[in-house]
């Protein structure tokens, strides 16, 4: 069964500290892996997208890693800010075969709270 | 901003009523997907439209239906609303193909009372 598991479920850290969020997946075949940031009650906003051949990608203070062999990804946030408080969702995409589903499997997200 | 807009942003309906949610896709995108997101959960795939035809469907009953228009904007219709339909409804637009990015709208918060 195609699944995306994220850990921890929630995390509280102090402003200025670093943190790492984890994503393990069993989705196959694999097309790409995406990390989204979702503020409460808002739509997800893309942070990074990585294909099979990419093992790291950065977007400002966000750095995502991918190990396609072990089917693991992480999102590292450096020097956290209050505005980083949000849910971070890992999404794994299969090649879109054109029917049945849209090929995206979502994790439940990690709820991150940054405290001053 | 992603260029994907949804309307309305908030909506309150009574059980048994019908609702229509709207989504304008990003310019150049021909595919729209709809998701239901319950509080504290990840988005659940409802269905996808590609060039005005339903292209895939998740595990949702037939009272969830949709349309895509020639300009690729889309509607989600839900009949006979139930209390459990209360959720954030998200649409995402993309240009169909491998590895393409999906851009989400800000969502419509539906509350069924």
| Model confidence pLDDT, tens digit, residues B1-44 | 668 999 999 999 999 999 999 999 888 888 899 999 998 888 99
Bridge-based pairing state of the strands B108-112 and B87-94: antiparallel
* pLDDT score for A99: 44
> Is A46 in Cβ contact with B101 (below 8 Å)?
yes
> Is B4 in Cβ contact with A43 (below 8 Å)?
yes
pLDDT 10s digit of each residue in chain A, 116 long? 778 999 999 999 999 999 999 999 998 888 889 999 999 889 999 999 998 889 999 999 999 999 999 999 999 999 999 999 999 999 998 876 544 456 788 999 999 999 99
- Band of residue B99 on the pLDDT scale cut at 50, 70, 90: low
- Band of residue B56 on the pLDDT scale cut at 50, 70, 90: confident
DSSP single-letter state for residue B41: S
Q: Which residues of chain A lie closer than 8 angstroms to B101, CB-CB?
A: 34, 46, 49
Q: Are A50 and A63 in contact (CB under 8 A)?
A: no
CA dihedral of residues B3, A45, A59, A65 (deg, nearest 10): -140
- Spell out the residues 6+ positions from residue A57 whose beta carbon is closer than 8 angstroms to its own: A48, A49, A50, A63, A64
B96 vs A46, A49, A96: nearest CB: A96
User: Which tokens sit at B46?
Assistant: 């409802």
- Band of residue B80 on the pLDDT scale cut at 50, 70, 90: very high
* pLDDT score for A98: 46
* pLDDT score for B1: 63
Q: How far apart are CA A35 and CA B104, in angstroms?
A: 13
- Spell out the residues 6+ positions from residue A53 whose beta carbon is closer than 8 angstroms to its own: none
* pLDDT score for A59: 95
Q: What is the number of alpha carbons within 13 Å of residue B84 lying toward its C-beta? A: 2
Residues 71-100 of B with CB under 8 A from A: 88, 90, 96-99
- Measured in residues, chain A has a length of 116
Instruction: Quote the minimal CA–CA distance from B5 to chain A in Å.
Output: 10
> Is A98 in Cβ contact with B2 (below 8 Å)?
no
> What's the mean per-residue pLDDT of chain B?
91
Instruction: Quote the minimal CA–CA distance from B35 to chain A in Å.
Output: 10
């Amino acid at each position: 069964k195609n699944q995306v598991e994220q850990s921890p479920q929630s995390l509280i850290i102090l402003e200025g500290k670093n943190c790492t969020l984890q994503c393990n997946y069993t989705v196959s075949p694999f097309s790409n892996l995406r990390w989204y940031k979702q503020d409460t009650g808002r739509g997800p906003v893309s942070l990074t997208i990585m294909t099979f051949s990419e093992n790291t990608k950065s977007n400002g203070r966000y750095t995502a890693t991918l190990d396609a062999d072990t089917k693991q990804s992480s999102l590292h946030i450096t020097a956290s800010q209050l505005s980083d408080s949000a849910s971070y969702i890992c999404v794994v995409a299969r090649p879109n075969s054109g029917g049945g589903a849209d090929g995206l499997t979502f994790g439940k997200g990690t709820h991150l709270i940054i405290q001053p | 901003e992603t260029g994907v807009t949804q309307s309305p942003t908030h909506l309150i309906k009574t059980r048994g009523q019908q609702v229509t949610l709207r989504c304008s896709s990003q310019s150049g995108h021909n595919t729209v997907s709809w998701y239901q997101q319950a509080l504290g959960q990840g988005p659940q795939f409802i269905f996808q439209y590609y060039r005005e035809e339903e292209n895939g469907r998740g595990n949702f009953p037939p009272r969830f239906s949709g349309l895509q228009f020639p300009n690729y904007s889309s509607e989600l219709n839900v009949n006979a609303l139930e209390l459990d339909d209360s959720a954030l409804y998200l649409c995402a637009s993309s240009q169909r193909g491998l590895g393409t990015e999906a851009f989400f709208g800000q969502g419509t918060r539906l509350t069924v009372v």
